């Protein structure tokens, strides 16, 4: 287990050392945000769709225990085996138990942020089970021994040359070949072999329908289907908030999900799993892991509406320039920053501060989560609970003294302008966090107060 | 208490007062040309649409895109008689060398170019994914405007497995360069039957 304290600002500083790369990362994500806008602007009913989705999720959260029971009963009627896990450890134990019972030592997995949250791969590997991630981006970060840096685009932080090097090392492609077409084809061939030889497949769950007991898994690559339809046992891990009441509600959510994520009208595959194949098994693991606690936090429960589209990351000026790994959590970006403190307020005390509170995340969120307001509220909760970073506490104290005394305020302002004018080196150095990757502005000649005193007539 | 009951009790204790479900009402443009829209969208996302009169046209097209000896699986009877393999396989793994699969779809969705398929239209669930190329036969009259109409049409029908397929499998995971043919079919051609 990791004991080292991680801090968003430090990790972002490391990411910011390579300015060209940061610019590239920033522009790539902004391009995806623009594709989202193009898709969204074609639908005049977009805002009504968001509002409807948000209200459906309000209903879900207010009746979740009932819907979970209903979903379980209907899934069981369909011949699906339902498991319940209170936390990550229990989830991982259930998966391991299912594999051990069948003597299975190798599993193929499609994208599931929940299993990242639970650190399932590490747990299985410690117990002698090999896991291969089949989503191309996830396979790439798995080969690099890194976590995904984005929930929809796991290796968005990697350059194709680095991916070419990884494939050369692990999959035997020619050195120096970084052609995306060629690398994708290599992965296709390598993973076909995996799909055909794995007896167990694990997938995530995008939506679970209380009314029918079915669940929906969305991919563009077809990897969830390739794994699930060839395996003896399909394990689907779902966070309990993935429930929606009725099948027809999928019409709302499937219209929102991919347009928000990548600007596509729908994913290539939206697969509805209801019953197992003849003689095969489907297991669903319903996971709490802090969700019932978050549900009870009135200010933060809306975060459970999230459908994991990633739009808030693509639009976030901080995420785009700090990279997903700076959030040191399975789910990065603005949504990760409001989910993580619920799991461990001390460990993730830095995340709600990794925001400008500009509100862009809330504006693009397809289920209208008030993300930036929750970030602001988390800051207060974190400070009240005594988890604010030491430097921030000291700075706030000085700030509070200065702002509460007109004398100190005016003296401080004057001092600042003089220093910037005559001794810029005192600020333009590595000890000033505002100087990192930025130039300090020209100091004004006088304060507004001084100007006003001279000019008021 | 079991994990189940502990979790359900915790959820019940945390959930707020009941909020009602909203109306879901999104009328579609009555005058839209659904066939044109479906064709436009599916083409944009990498699929291909061909309008045809009869299954002979599909068979003729298949001859132009396959080589002698290629394995062709068809669950469409009319096509199966002309071009497909003799013995439909029981094991999904045995479909691994399928070059082309020909299947029917219940209906298409104009707004996103998807077609709705349930497992009764397939020999194996894995067929439309494991095949190198996919042909879908769809009645031109069976196109709905949007996903709301799609689920109205599905209604409360039961199926073991159903899927919307919209175009060939794809990925842009490497520097956002779009590549068709990730793990599923490399191409998708929809025959719109008049």
Is there a single domain that holds both residue A349 and residue A426? no
Is there a single domain that holds both residue A316 and residue A364? yes
Residue A49 in domain: no
Is there a single domain that holds both residue A438 and residue A387? no
Question: Residue B26: closest CA among chain A residues belongs to which residue?
Answer: A45
Whether residue A56 is predicted with pLDDT greater than 90 in this model: the reply is yes
Query: Which of residues 11 through 50 in chain A touch B, CB cutoff 8 A?
Result: 28, 31-32, 45, 48-49
ipTM here: 0.97
pLDDT at A328: 96
Kindly give the parts of chain B with pLDDT less than 50: none
Residue A21 in domain: yes
Encode burial over A135-165: b for 16+ CB neighbours within 10 A, e otherwise: bbbbbbbbbbeebbbbbbbbbbbbebeebbb
Tell me how far apart the alpha carbons of residues B77 and B104 are, in angstroms, rounded to a whole number: 10
pLDDT at A1: 42
Is there a single domain that holds both residue A434 and residue A416? yes
Is there a single domain that holds both residue A374 and residue A416? no
pLDDT at B129: 98
Residue A353 in domain: yes
- Any CB–CB contact under 8 A between A377 and chain B? no
Question: Residue A258: closest CA among chain B residues belongs to which residue?
Answer: B112
For residue A85, give the nearest of B3, B151, B183 by CB distance.
B3
Tell me how far apart the alpha carbons of residues B79 and A288 are, in angstroms, rounded to a whole number: 49
The pLDDT confidence band at residue A53, using thresholds 50, 70 and 90, is very high
State which H helix or E strand residue A340 sits in. Answer: helix A333-343
Say if residues A273 and A234 touch (Cβ distance below 8 Å).
Answer: yes
Residue A371 in domain: yes
Is there a single domain that holds both residue A389 and residue A417? no
Q: What is the dihedral of CA A351, A352, A355, A358, to 10 degrees?
A: 160
- % chain A with pLDDT above 90: 83
**Tokens 């050392």 map to which residue?**
A17
Choose the CATH number for B33-193 among 1.10.3720.10, 1.10.10.10, 1.10.287.3510, 3.40.50.10420. 3.40.50.10420
The two three-digit tokens of residue B6, written as one number: 């502990």
Tell me how far apart the alpha carbons of residues B46 and B168 are, in angstroms, rounded to a whole number: 6
pLDDT at A2: 45
* Total-model pTM: 0.93
Identify the domain boundary among A373, A398, A423.
A398
Interface test with B, best of A265, A280, A285, A303 (most B CBs within 10 A): A265
Whether residue A307 is predicted with pLDDT greater than 70 in this model: the reply is yes
Domain borders along chain B are 33-193
Residue A193 in domain: no
Q: How many domains are there within chain A?
A: 2
Is there a single domain that holds both residue A417 and residue A443? yes
Range of the domain at A413: 405-455
Residue A76 in domain: no
Name which of B96, B111, B86 is nearest B36 in CA terms: B111
**Tokens 């970030």 map to which residue?**
A375
The pLDDT confidence band at residue A244, using thresholds 50, 70 and 90, is very high
Question: Residue B27: closest CA among chain A residues belongs to which residue?
Answer: A45
Is there a single domain that holds both residue A422 and residue A440? yes
Say if residues A377 and A328 touch (Cβ distance below 8 Å).
Answer: no
Flag if B4 and A31 touch (Cβ within 8 Å).
Answer: no
Tell me how far apart the alpha carbons of residues A289 and A84 are, in angstroms, rounded to a whole number: 11
SS3 readout for B42-107: HHHCCCEEEEECCHHHHHHHHHHHCCCCCEEEECCHHHHHHHCCCCCCCCHHHHCCEEEEEEECCE
The contacts of residue A452 (CB under 8 Å, 6+ apart) are none
Residue A28 in domain: yes
In this predicted model, what pLDDT tens digit does every residue of B57-101 receive, in sequence order? 999 999 999 998 899 999 888 777 777 665 566 789 999 999 999
């Amino acid at each position: 287990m990791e004991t080292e304290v991680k801090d968003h600002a430090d990790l972002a500083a490391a990411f910011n050392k390579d300015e060209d790369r940061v610019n590239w990362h920033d522009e790539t994500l902004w391009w995806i945000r623009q594709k989202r806008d193009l898709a969204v602007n074609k639908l005049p009913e977009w805002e009504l769709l968001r509002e409807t989705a948000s209200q459906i999720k309000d209903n879900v959260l207010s009746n979740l225990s009932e819907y979970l029971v209903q979903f379980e009963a209907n899934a069981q009627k369909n011949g699906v085996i339902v498991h319940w896990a209170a936390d990550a450890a229990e989830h991982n134990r259930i998966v391991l138990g299912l594999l051990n019972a069948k003597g299975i030592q190798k599993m193929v997995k499609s994208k599931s942020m929940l299993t990242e949250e639970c650190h399932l791969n590490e747990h299985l590997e410690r117990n002698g089970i090999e896991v291969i991630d089949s989503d191309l981006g996830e396979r790439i970060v798995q080969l690099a021994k890194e976590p995904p840096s984005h929930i929809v685009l796991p290796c968005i932080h990697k350059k194709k040359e680095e991916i070419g090097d990884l494939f050369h090392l692990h999959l035997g492609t020619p050195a120096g070949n970084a052609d995306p077409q060629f690398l994708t084809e290599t992965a296709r061939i390598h993973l076909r072999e995996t799909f055909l030889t794995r007896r167990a497949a694990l997938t995530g769950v995008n939506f679970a329908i209380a009314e029918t007991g079915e669940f929906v898994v969305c991919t563009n690559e077809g990897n969830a289907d390739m794994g699930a339809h060839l395996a003896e046992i399909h394990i689907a891990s779902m966070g309990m908030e993935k429930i929606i009441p009725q099948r027809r509600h999928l019409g709302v959510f499937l219209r929102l999900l991919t347009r928000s994520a990548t600007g596509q009208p729908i994913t290539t595959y939206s697969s509805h799993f209801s019953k197992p194949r003849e003689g095969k098994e489907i297991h669903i693991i319903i996971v709490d892991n802090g969700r019932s606690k978050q549900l009870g936090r009135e200010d933060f429960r809306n975060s459970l509406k999230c459908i994991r589209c990633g739009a808030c990351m693509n639009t976030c000026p901080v995420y785009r320039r700090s990279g997903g790994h700076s959030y040191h959590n399975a789910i990065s970006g603005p949504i990760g920053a409001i989910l993580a403190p619920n799991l461990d307020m001390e460990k993730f005390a830095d995340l709600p501060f990794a925001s400008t509170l500009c509100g862009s995340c809330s504006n693009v969120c397809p289920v209208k989560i008030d993300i930036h307001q929750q970030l602001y509220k988390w800051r207060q909760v974190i400070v009240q609970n005594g988890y604010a970073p030491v430097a921030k506490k000291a700075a706030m104290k000085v700030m509070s003294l200065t702002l509460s005394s007109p004398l100190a305020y005016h003296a401080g302002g004057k001092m600042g302008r003089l220093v910037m004018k005559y001794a810029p080196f005192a600020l333009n150095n590595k000890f000033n966090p505002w100087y990192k990757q930025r130039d300090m502005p020209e100091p004004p000649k006088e304060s507004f107060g001084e100007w006003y005193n001279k000019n008021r007539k | 208490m079991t994990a189940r009951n502990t979790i359900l009790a915790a959820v019940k204790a945390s959930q707020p007062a009941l909020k009602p479900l909203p109306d879901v009402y999104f009328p579609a443009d009555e005058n839209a040309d659904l066939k044109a829209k479906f064709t436009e969208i599916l083409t944009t996302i990498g699929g291909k649409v061909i309008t045809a009169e009869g299954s002979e046209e599909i068979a003729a097209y298949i001859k132009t895109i396959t080589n002698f000896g290629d394995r062709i699986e068809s669950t469409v009877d009319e096509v199966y008689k002309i071009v497909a393999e003799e013995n439909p396989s029981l094991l999904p793994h045995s479909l691994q060398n399928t070059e082309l699969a020909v299947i029917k779809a219940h209906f298409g969705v104009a707004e996103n170019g998807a077609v709705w398929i349930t497992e009764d239209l397939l020999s194996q669930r894995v067929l439309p994914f494991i095949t190198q190329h996919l042909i879908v036969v769809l009645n031109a009259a069976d196109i709905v405007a949007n996903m709301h109409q799609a689920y109205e049409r599905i209604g409360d029908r039961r199926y073991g497995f159903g899927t919307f397929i919209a175009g060939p499998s794809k990925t842009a995971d490497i520097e956002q360069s779009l590549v068709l043919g990730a793990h599923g079919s490399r191409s998708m051609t929809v025959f719109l039957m008049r």
